Structure formats: C-alpha cells, structure tokens
Amino acid sequence: MKRALASIVMAAVPMGVLAQGSAVDLSKAKLKNPATFTDKAPETFKAKFETSKGQFVITVHRAWAPLGADRFYNLVKGGFYDDCRFFRVIDGFMAQVGMNGDSAIQSAWGSATISDDLVKGSNKRGFVSFAATMSKDSRSTQFFVSLVDNARYDQMGFAPFGEVTSGMDAVDMLYSGYGEGAPRGTGPEQAKLRTQGNAYLTKEFPKLDYIKRATIEK
C-alpha cells in the first residue's frame, strides 16, 4: 500500500559569526528554508552517495519526473541527505531514506511538498522514486530504491526519477535487520525520528547504515 512507503562534497562549510560571538553553520541555516531550493535540474545528472556500506550513484533523468528530479537535485546539492540514516530497509522490497537527522531541519520540510509527476517509468529493481502518503501531492524529501521489481507501485503514483547505475551491491548490503517501522513492525518510528532526529536512531537502532555525503557529480 502507498501508506507503507510513507511510514517511506560537503564543501568547506561557510561559517558566520553571530553578534554574541558564537558560530552558526550557514549551510544548515539555509536547509531550514525550503523556499530557497528552487534550482532547475539538468536534463540528466548523476548523484553520488558515499555510505557506511560503500558508494553508489543514481543517474537522474528529468524527463522521467521533472518535479521529482528538481527536488532531488536541490536536496543533494544543498547537503540535505548528508548523515541521513536508511531507517527503513526491507529485504525483498526497498531501502528508504530521507529524513534529516536534525529535527529542526526535518520540521521545516514537513509541509514542503511537491506536486505529483505522471508515472512514465516503472519501479524496477534499482530504480528510485520519492515516497509519499495516501494524499495527493505529498512527496517531500524521502526516497526509496527498489531492491526488486515493484511494478505494482506504478499504478499507485510512484514516479521513478532515476536509477542506480553503479554500486547497487552497496545498496543490497544496507542493514535490514530492524525490518518494518513501528507500529506495524519493530523498526524506527517516523514520528520519533521527526522530533528527536539522529539521536533517537543512534540510541535505539545503532546498526542502521547512513549516508556520509551526497554530491552532484561534475
């Protein structure tokens, strides 16, 4: 069910100094303002993900899902996915990621949804789509990689925007021992992740794999 998928170079970081003399990470400050992430993605681009299990590359085709491609491009370029955990990995199904470990940043993106794209491709093994809820136009930041052919999700509105073109072996090795998330399973609960961030995951689910760094390849 669609509900199942919902419950789906960090460059030298510029530093600013507050009047009180404390430092603030300007890149994180920008991540709290989704309205500024409006760049149009190239027609085709590659996003490299360096993870705790190795590296994989997603090749994105804007023609497949323009709105999804634009959102993904902006999130990767802006560093949103750095240090994000693969909080929902289910053998024989999919690997899901995309909730920021900083609860303030995740909260800012909670209502920053995009309109649905038409489904032009299929959710085959290695293909990448945004997660969504049962509601229309509910895609935000979470995406999933299909570990098997999930064509049944095509008719449910999940529009692939890219494909893992190298490193699928790393995706296959992502830790899946926690299974489905709560309340249906014993894995991470999205509501707690949303409010407590990575502190919740590292304490309760320490074996989760994570994205060390995501970048747009030149």
Question: Residue 30: pLDDT band by 50, 70, 90 thresholds?
Answer: very high
What whole-number distance in Å separates Cα of residue 171 and Cα of residue 145?
Answer: 8
**What confidence score (pLDDT) does residue 37 get?**
97
**What confidence score (pLDDT) does residue 26 get?**
64
Instruction: Tell me the residue range of the domain where 151 lies.
Output: 2-6+25-216
CATH number at residue 40: 2.40.100.10
- Tell the residue number behind the tokens 């090795």, with chain if given: 173
Q: Is 157 contained in some domain?
A: yes
Q: What is the pTM of this model?
A: 0.88
Burial 172-205 (b: 16+ CB within 10 A, else e): bebbbebebbeeeeebbbbebbeebbbebbeeeb
Maximum distance among all Cα pairs of the chain, rounded to whole angstroms: 55
- Tell the residue number behind the tokens 């430092």, with chain if given: 23
* 210, 201 Cβ separation under 8 angstroms: no
Question: Residue 16: pLDDT band by 50, 70, 90 thresholds?
Answer: very low
Q: Is 18 contained in some domain?
A: no
Take residue 73 and report the two structure tokens written for it: 């491009």
pLDDT digits (tens, 9 = 90+) for 172-190: 999 999 999 998 899 999 9
Number of domains in the chain: 1
Q: Is 20 contained in some domain?
A: no
